[in-house]
Amino acid sequence: MTIIDGKKISEKKLKGIEDEIKKRNWVGKIGLAVIIIGGRKDSTVYVRKKMEACEKVGIKSYKIELKTTATNDMVCREIEKLNNDDKVHGILIQLPIPRHLNEEKILRKINFLKDVDGFHANNMGYLAMERREPLFIPCTPLGCFEMLKEYNIEIEGKEVVVIGKSNIVGLPMSLIMMKEMATVTVCHIKTKNIEEHTRRADILIVGVGKAHLVKKDWVKEGAVVIDIGINVLKDETRKRGYRLVGDVDYENVKSVASYITPVPGGVGPMTVCMLIKNTLKSYKNLNGY
């Protein structure tokens, strides 16, 4: 069994990005803007990690904080300002956003040329189509794909099972795998006898936010297991009173998997890394490189 070290891969890729930015004298010239709405603790942590990564490689970051009571029009006005700001090359909305807001309308407002999260309908549409390439692919699925490539894990012709069909993870993940000529099954909350599907998987990718959903007997011997889930469990033995776990019962599943991602230290660092990669790509696109 091999543990897929997302932290190590992301550090290597970020170093490459940092070196390129320095070599081309682009330090401080590339801008990423993050809009965060409301004061969710987890969102604040994620935004901080993204901004720290920007600083590390020489990208300038801008944080726009809006109150939970912000309206759709208020958010869209902020996006329009960023669309027209030549210093900003990437724009993202930190999800999830308050329920009263129209997520589809807000994401559609972002200029797809600056849509470094890859959620605009233009980017998702091109991802879904044969012989088309989106400008940007959503960061978490792209990070998973990059990890598989880094470990030379074959995708073509393999049976891939994705648990979760969200626009952020499950849907784009399944589209990427189909473009790589895998046979893809997508499972979700209405799937019956889900373990019958997962036991066929050569590559099992899980992202639903349910702690330890996937048990050892759900996984085929030798399968590759990618765990996207991040869940908080109370743990009085820890100083902070909790621990982070994935959607996979890691300690038991690792005995049958050939490759597996840990939580934390697996997919999470790669998501941030792909955001930085997309932002650099956007700068190049917008400036004709």
Contact 179, 129 (CB under 8 A): no
Angle between helices 41-57 and 267-286 (to 10 degrees): 60
- Kindly list the averaged pLDDT for each block of 10 residues, start to end, along the chain of length 289: 97 98 98 93 89 97 96 97 98 94 95 96 94 95 98 98 96 97 96 97 96 97 97 83 91 97 96 98 96
Distance between CA atoms of residues 234 and 251, nearest Å: 17
Q: How many helices (H) and strands (E) does the chain have?
A: 10, 11
Distance between CA atoms of residues 34 and 47, nearest Å: 7
Please give the pLDDT value at position 210. Answer: 94
Distance between CA atoms of residues 138 and 168, nearest Å: 7
Contact 184, 140 (CB under 8 A): no
Listed in sequence order, the residues at least 6 apart from 15 whose beta carbon sits closer than 8 Å to its beta carbon are none
Contact 98, 37 (CB under 8 A): yes
pTM of the model: 0.95
Please give the pLDDT value at position 235. Answer: 81
Query: What are the residue numbers of the active site?
Result: 50, 94, 117
DSSP state of 266: S
